[in-house]
Amino acid sequence: MLSGLLLLFAMPGELYRIPPHEEVARMARFVANQCNWASMATISTHEPVQGQPFSNAFSTSDGPVGSGTGVPYMYLTTMEISVQDLKVNPQASLSMSLAQTDFCKNQGYDPQDPLCAHIIFSGSVLEINGTEATFAKKALFSRHPEMVDWPTDHNWFFAKMNITKVWVLDYFGGVKTVTPEDYFKATPYKRHH
């Protein structure tokens, strides 16, 4: 219990405890829910780097902090350089790190330190519509209030990362992987002892 105190950190109005590092699926869900953005790598279609990895920042949300679904949603337009890549090849890699929160700073963990937990999603980015898009809109606009004012003539659409594999760096000893099934079953904020 007391050792857990070191791992407490504050988000606006509430305390969330980082899961134990060996509970990898929970850790992945925790990082995905805590982060507001991701670095997304696509296979570039743009000269002079055609065919090369191209990494770029995107706002994400899997739902409200404290109750995410684990699905990273994005609000995209084909006017955007990486989204143009996705139109040719939807395969992408999304990286999120607790370095994006106050956690690593407060603990004194360098972003490359595995204790500064970070995750990489492999998969593809798919346009969504219907009820899932309605959910994505709520999830994104609640955490990214300025999205509501983004220019309407840019043909924004909602998309999700369709996860095929989750890679987790949250402790020493190398990367660990989580299947989408285990990832979506995990409960990031459950109390532990």
101-130 footprint of ligand NAG as x/- string (CB under 6 A): ----------------------xx-x--xx
Identify the burial level of 37 via C-beta atoms within 10 angstroms of its C-beta, where 0-12 means exposed, 13-18 middle and 19 or more buried: middle
Interface residues for ligand NAG in 165-184 (CB under 6 A)?
A: 180
Strand runs labelled E in the chain: 8-11, 14-17, 37-43, 53-59, 73-76, 91-97, 118-127, 157-169, 176-178
Interaction between residue 59 and ligand NAG (CB under 6 A):
no
162 binds ligand NAG per the rule CB under 6 A: yes
Nearest-approach distance from CB 22 to ligand NAG, in angstroms: 23
Q: Which of 76, 116, 163, 168 binds ligand NAG (CB under 6 A)?
A: 163
Nearer to ligand NAG by C-beta: 107 or 122?
Answer: 122
Check if the beta carbon of residue 24 is closer than 8 Å to that of residue 31. no
Spell out, one character per residue from 130 to 159, where the chain touches ligand NAG: x when CB under 6 A holds, - when not: x-----------------------------
DSSP label at residue 69 = -
> Which residues lie across from 8 on neighbouring strands?
17
- Is 136 in contact with 160 (CB distance < 8 Å)? yes
Which DSSP letter does residue 61 get?
B
Binding site for ligand NAG (CB under 6 A): 123-124, 126, 129-130, 162-164, 180
